[in-house]
């Protein structure tokens, strides 16, 4: 149940249902269905076998009929066998319910301002001869409601219950229930009347405040959940802020380091500019040095070409040696002579390799010396005019060419080393083959020797061939 003021009168409804046991109950202006669900629950527990009708007109924002989901669901799940919801409004619902068939009718005047006129014109005839009418919301100042209350009070005995929005019980003018008639006959000052009103008021207040407390408890729990979620979110945000602070500090330190580096670079740039200015003053003799550098570059190129030719020749010779080594596998008988020849060639190749290495070292030393001289010439000619810049570009081009040649020589040196390793491996294989052949020759000679017992193996083999 939600927080509805009609909860004040639910205990009285329960007592009234037990006292009258209606066969048909109708409620007009159902709203959220707080009182209607309470009546259905009571009739179900009493096993009264009554019919119940909830009459209302619910509209959504689009103007379509939309019964509250909670009301429709509870009615379908619990009371569908004896309860029916009429959602087409008071007029169409009146066509469904016969006159004189309703034993108990509750009208909630707080739900609709026009409901009072419809009750007086259409719904009062629906009450049976012993039917009881309950009007909730008589405490309002609406003129139509006041007229309805005054008209009914003047014709029939009534019981007024305080609390909530006020409740008026209209009894039938003829043959009302004896107990209800006795209560209606009591004056407001009568102690019995006060006791009855006080009892139902206390029960109603208890029901109302209990639901209110439950709702407060639910709201508190929801707020606790929300607070916990906010605390978790706060902690997460704090962690994110802390992480951002660490990132900011790291960026700040990095920025400081970069600024220091920039300052150092600026100082170095100033020093470089000063050095360039100094070198510009010494460029008067740079032309002669440039010509000498060009001559040195040409000599270096020639030396590198010779080295490359020798490396190519060595590669060809190594390839020839590899072919020779492959032929050794089919010439087992000449393995010893071939091994000696390979040894001699390998020794010669080692000499050549040593010469090549010495030559490469000398060339590398020359290149280092040349680089030093070229760097000096380039440093001295950096800030010259257009002609000096062109000469410097040429020197750089020469340097790159030399560097490429050195790289090529390094590759050739690696190739020679690899070939040497391969020759060494092949020599080992040749030695193994020669050893195997020598052992086999020894075994053959041993087999051909005459036997001590007479008639050697060779003689026997010869005799067999002759036969």
Q: Is residue 201 part of a domain?
A: no
pLDDT (0 to 100) of residue 106:
96
Are 207 and 163 contacting, i.e. CB atoms less than 8 angstroms apart?
Answer: no
pLDDT (0 to 100) of residue 441:
84
pLDDT (0 to 100) of residue 464:
45
Say whether both 180 and 296 belong to one domain.
no
Q: Is residue 48 part of a domain?
A: yes
Q: Is residue 386 part of a domain?
A: yes
Give the phi and the psi of residue 335 in degrees, each rounded to 5. -65, -40
- Residue located via tokens 């016969």: 98
CA–CA gap between residue 419 and residue 344 (Å, rounded): 16
Are 86 and 2 contacting, i.e. CB atoms less than 8 angstroms apart?
Answer: no
pLDDT (0 to 100) of residue 170:
95
DSSP lists the bridge partners of residue 91 as none
- What number of CA atoms fall less than 13 Å from residue 317's CA on the CB side? 16
Are 116 and 109 contacting, i.e. CB atoms less than 8 angstroms apart?
Answer: yes
pLDDT (0 to 100) of residue 444:
85
- Surface-to-core class of residue 75, CB atoms within 10 Å of its CB (0-12 exposed, 13-18 middle, 19+ buried): buried
For residue 114, give Cα distances in angstroms to 90, 97, 109, 133, 169: 10, 20, 9, 17, 20
- Identify the domain boundary among 130, 165, 185: 185
Residue of 24, 46, 12, 13 whose CA lies nearest to 130: 24
pLDDT (0 to 100) of residue 108:
92
Per-residue model confidence as pLDDT tens for the chain (467 residues): 444 788 999 999 999 999 999 999 999 999 889 999 999 999 999 998 999 999 988 888 887 888 999 999 999 999 999 999 999 889 899 999 999 999 999 999 988 778 888 898 899 999 999 999 999 988 765 678 888 888 998 999 999 998 888 999 999 988 778 889 899 899 889 999 889 988 998 898 887 777 766 765 566 566 657 767 766 777 787 788 788 878 877 887 887 787 777 777 778 778 777 777 877 777 766 667 667 766 776 776 776 677 677 767 767 775 776 776 677 667 767 767 877 887 788 788 788 878 877 887 887 888 888 888 888 877 776 777 687 578 767 767 877 876 887 787 778 778 878 888 888 888 888 888 888 888 988 888 888 765 444 444 444 444 444 44
CATH of residue 32: 3.40.50.150
- Identify the domain boundary among 121, 154, 185: 185
pLDDT (0 to 100) of residue 164:
87
Q: Is residue 244 part of a domain?
A: no
Say whether both 181 and 328 belong to one domain.
no
Say whether both 181 and 315 belong to one domain.
no
Say whether both 170 and 292 belong to one domain.
no
pLDDT (0 to 100) of residue 130:
93
CA–CA gap between residue 217 and residue 443 (Å, rounded): 110
CA–CA gap between residue 51 and residue 25 (Å, rounded): 6
Domain that holds residue 318: 284-458
pLDDT (0 to 100) of residue 304:
67
Q: Is residue 243 part of a domain?
A: no
Number of domains into which the chain is organized: 2
Q: What is the sign, positive or negative, of the torsion defined by CA atoms of 185, 188, 192, 197? A: positive
pLDDT (0 to 100) of residue 457:
45
Residue of 223, 155, 119, 166 whose CA lies nearest to 12: 166
Q: Is residue 380 part of a domain?
A: yes
Say whether both 181 and 294 belong to one domain.
no
Q: Is residue 352 part of a domain?
A: yes
SS3 130: strand
Token duo for residue 1: 């149940």
- Identify the domain boundary among 153, 170, 185: 185
Q: Is residue 377 part of a domain?
A: yes
Say whether both 292 and 178 belong to one domain.
no
Residue of 350, 348, 366 whose CA lies nearest to 306: 366
Say whether both 318 and 426 belong to one domain.
yes
């Amino acid at each position: 149940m939600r927080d509805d003021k009609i909860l004040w009168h639910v205990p009285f409804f329960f007592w009234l249902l037990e006292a009258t046991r209606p066969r048909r109950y109708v409620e007009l202006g159902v709203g959220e269905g707080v009182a209607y669900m309470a009546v259905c629950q009571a009739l179900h527990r009493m096993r009264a076998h009554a019919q119940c009708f909830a009459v209302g007109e619910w509209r959504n924002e689009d103007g379509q009929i939309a019964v509250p989901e909670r009301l429709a669901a509870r009615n379908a799940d619990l009371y569908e066998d004896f309860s029916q919801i009429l959602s087409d409004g008071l007029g169409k619902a009146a066509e469904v319910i016969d006159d004189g068939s309703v034993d108990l009718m509750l009208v909630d005047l707080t739900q609709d301002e026009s409901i009072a006129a419809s009750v007086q014109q259409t719904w009062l005839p629906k009450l049976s001869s012993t039917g009881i009418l309950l009007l909730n919301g008589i405490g309002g100042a609406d003129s139509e409601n006041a007229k309805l209350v005054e008209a009914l009070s003047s014709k029939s005995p009534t019981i007024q219950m305080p609390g909530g929005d006020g409740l008026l019980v209209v009894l039938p003018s003829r043959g009302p229930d004896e107990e209800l008639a006795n209560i209606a006959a009591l004056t407001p000052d009568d102690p019995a009347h006060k006791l009855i009103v006080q009892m139902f008021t206390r029960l109603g207040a208890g029901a109302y405040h209990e639901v209110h407390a439950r709702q407060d408890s639910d709201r508190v729990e929801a707020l606790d959940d929300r607070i916990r979620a906010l605390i978790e979110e706060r902690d997460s945000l704090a962690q994110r802020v802390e992480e951002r602070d660490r990132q900011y500090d790291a960026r700040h330190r990095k920025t400081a380091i970069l600024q220091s580096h920039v300052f150092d670079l600026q100082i170095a740039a100033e020093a470089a500019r000063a050095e360039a200015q100094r070198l510009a003053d010494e460029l008067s003799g740079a032309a002669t040095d440039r010509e000498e550098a060009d001559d040195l570059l040409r000599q270096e190129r020639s030396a590198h070409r010779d080295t490359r030719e020798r490396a190519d020749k060595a590669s060809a010779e190594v390839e020839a040696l590899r072919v020779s080594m492959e032929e050794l596998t089919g010439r087992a008988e000449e393995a010893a002579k071939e091994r000696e020849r390979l040894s001699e060639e390998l020794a010669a190749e080692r000499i050549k390799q040593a010469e090549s290495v010495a030559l490469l070292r000398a060339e590398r030393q020359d290149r280092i010396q040349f680089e030093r001289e070229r760097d000096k010439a380039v440093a001295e000619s950096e800030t010259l005019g257009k002609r000096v810049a062109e000469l410097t570009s040429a020197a750089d081009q020469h340097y790159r060419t030399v560097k490429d040649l050195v790289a090529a020589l390094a590759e050739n040196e690696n190739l020679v080393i690899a070939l040497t390793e391969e020759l060494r491996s092949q020599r080992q294989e040749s030695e193994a083959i020669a050893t195997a052949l020598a052992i086999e020759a020894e075994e053959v000679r041993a087999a051909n020797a005459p036997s001590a017992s007479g008639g050697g193996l060779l003689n026997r083999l010869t005799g067999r061939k002759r036969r």
